[in-house]
């Protein structure tokens, strides 16, 4: 029997449909949260029950094991707090479950710049902050003003200056803090909508849109302050269309993996390992995965 709770818990909930790669088994327990209070209650329920828990956003940069997740998946759909400050229209607030592309598109339509890169990143605001997601030389940390979050010490408000971000990394990747909402500092830019459209057109012509994919497989390797293209390295190695148990390196962009229909978590992991081994042998460069693998005993407790 499940512990008493006002939360609508579901047992044995499929996870693959909730990820953009469409890979993974089922969660032992699953709950969708739409408010900050529900998110906190879900975390506390997991801790009191001795369950491992994992906060899931749009599932755009991860894959679950085929054996599923032996704990509680908290599906973040927090939208409360989405607003523009009437006294300071350059400050935009959004719940952690808000779609980043939708937020970016709205900002662009209203002539606000800073989030243009986000139109092609199919993640949530919270997930994007956790990964410090970005594109075209920009990252979400560039326009982040502050966040509201929750950890074992309780509710917190952190300014951008209090958070140490790195390239596609943040302290929140440890999973000890859940992001509830965020504020962004945007700037007036009448060209924002045009920049967004150009970004979308470019992505659609160079990336496998419309196919199950988790986005970039690897971070671009950094050396002496400059980045190399992971996709170019993989392409030079002749690894496009390499396939393992339904997981395949895209023929359109070598740093993207697609699910050809029946991909398994084992196949995804093996394909990542093969690519890393080949690039290390050919170029002497160790690629760091950007995709996150969530094992059955992953998450936090």
Each residue of 58-87: pLDDT tens digit?
Answer: 999 999 999 999 999 999 999 876 677 778
Q: Show the domain range for 29.
A: 10-76
94-104 tens-digit pLDDT: 999 999 999 99
What is the pLDDT, as a whole number, of residue 86?
A: 72
Q: Is the pLDDT of residue 5 over 60?
A: no
Position 202 in a domain? no
pTM for the predicted model, two decimal places? 0.91
User: Has 290 been annotated as catalytic?
Assistant: yes
- Dihedral sign for Cα 166, 117, 176, 212, please: negative
Name the least confident of 21-30, 84-93, 242-251, 265-274: 84-93
Domain identity same for 26 and 113: no
Does residue 172 sit in the same domain as residue 247? Answer: no
**Do 50 and 90 share a domain, yes or no?**
no
Q: What CATH number is attached to the domain comprising 170?
A: 3.30.465.10
* Residue 56 scores a pLDDT above 50: yes
Is the per-residue pLDDT at 124 higher than 50? Answer: yes
pLDDT at position 81, please?
A: 64
Q: Residue 290 has what pLDDT?
A: 93
Query: What is the number of structural domains in the chain?
Result: 3
Q: Tens digits of per-residue pLDDT, 125-171?
A: 999 999 999 887 889 999 999 999 999 899 999 999 999 999 889 99
**Cα four-point dihedral sign 281, 286, 291, 294:** positive
Burial track 176-185 (b if 16+ CB lie within 10 A, e otherwise):
ebbbbbbbbe
The number of residues in the chain equals 301
Examine the residue annotation and report whether 168 is marked as an active-site residue of this protein.
yes
Residues 208-227 pLDDT 10s:
988 999 999 999 998 776 77
**pLDDT score at 202:** 84
Whether 176 is covered by a domain: the verdict is: yes
Contact 62, 23 (CB under 8 A): no
What pLDDT, on the 0 to 100 scale, is given for residue 225? 67
Q: Which residue has the tokens 């980045």?
A: 227
Question: Is residue 1 domain-resident?
Answer: no
Q: What pLDDT score was predicted for residue 301?
A: 61
Annotation says 216 is catalytic: yes
Looking at the fold, whether 168 and 147 belong to one and the same domain comes out as yes
Bridge-based pairing state of the strands 52-56 and 69-76: parallel
CATH number at residue 47: 3.30.43.10
pLDDT at 227: 79
Q: Out of 116, 216, 276, 300, which one is annotated catalytic?
A: 216
Partners of 72 in beta bridges: 29, 53
* 184 and 89 belong to one structural domain: yes
Residues 230-242, buried b or exposed e (16+ Cβ, 10 A)? Answer: bbebbeebebbeb
Q: What is the mean pLDDT of the chain?
A: 92
Predicted local distance difference test score (pLDDT) of residue 1:
37
Query: From the candidates 22, 52, 168, 300, which is the catalytic residue?
Result: 168
Of 299 and 154, the structure prediction assigns the larger pLDDT to 154
Catalytic, out of 143, 219, 290, 300: 290
Q: What is the pLDDT of residue 174?
A: 85
**Which residues, 6 or more positions from 89, have their beta carbon under 8 angstroms from its beta carbon?**
none
Q: Which residue has the tokens 């089922």?
A: 26
Tokens coding 203: 């992505």
The percent of residues in the chain predicted with pLDDT above 70, rounded, is 97
Dihedral angle of Cα 111, 117, 123, 127, to the nearest 10 degrees: -100
């Amino acid at each position: 029997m499940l512990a008493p709770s006002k939360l609508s818990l579901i047992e044995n909930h499929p996870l693959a449909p909730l990820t953009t790669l469409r890979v993974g088994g089922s969660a032992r327990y699953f709950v969708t949260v739409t408010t900050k209070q529900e998110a906190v209650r879900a975390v506390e329920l997991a801790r009191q029950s001795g369950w491992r828990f994992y906060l899931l956003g749009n599932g755009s940069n991860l894959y679950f094991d085929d054996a599923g997740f032996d704990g509680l998946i908290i599906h973040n759909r927090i939208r409360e707090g989405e607003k523009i400050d009437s006294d300071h229209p350059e400050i935009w607030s959004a719940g952690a479950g808000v779609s980043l592309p939708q937020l970016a598109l709205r900002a662009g339509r209203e002539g606000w710049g800073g989030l243009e890169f986000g139109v092609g990143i199919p993640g949530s605001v919270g997930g994007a902050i956790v990964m410090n997601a970005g594109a075209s030389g920009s990252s979400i940390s560039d326009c982040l003003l502050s966040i509201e979050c929750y950890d074992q010490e309780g509710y917190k408000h952190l300014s951008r200056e209090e958070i140490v971000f790195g390239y596609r990394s943040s302290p929140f990747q440890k999973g000890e803090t859940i992001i509830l909402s965020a504020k962004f500092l945007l700037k007036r830019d009448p060209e924002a909508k045009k920049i967004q459209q150009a970004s979308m057109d470019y992505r659609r012509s160079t990336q496998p849109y419309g196919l199950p994919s988790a986005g970039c497989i690897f971070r671009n390797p950094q050396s002496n302050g400059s980045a190399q293209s992971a996709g170019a390295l993989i392409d030079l190695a002749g690894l496009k269309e390499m396939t393992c148990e339904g997981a395949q390196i895209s023929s359109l962009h070598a740093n993207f993996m697609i699910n050809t229909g029946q991909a398994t978590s084992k196949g995804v992991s093996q394909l990542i390992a093969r690519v890393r081994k080949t690039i290390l042998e050919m170029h002497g460069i160790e690629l760091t995965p950007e995709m996150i693998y969530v094992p059955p005993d992953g998450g936090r407790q």
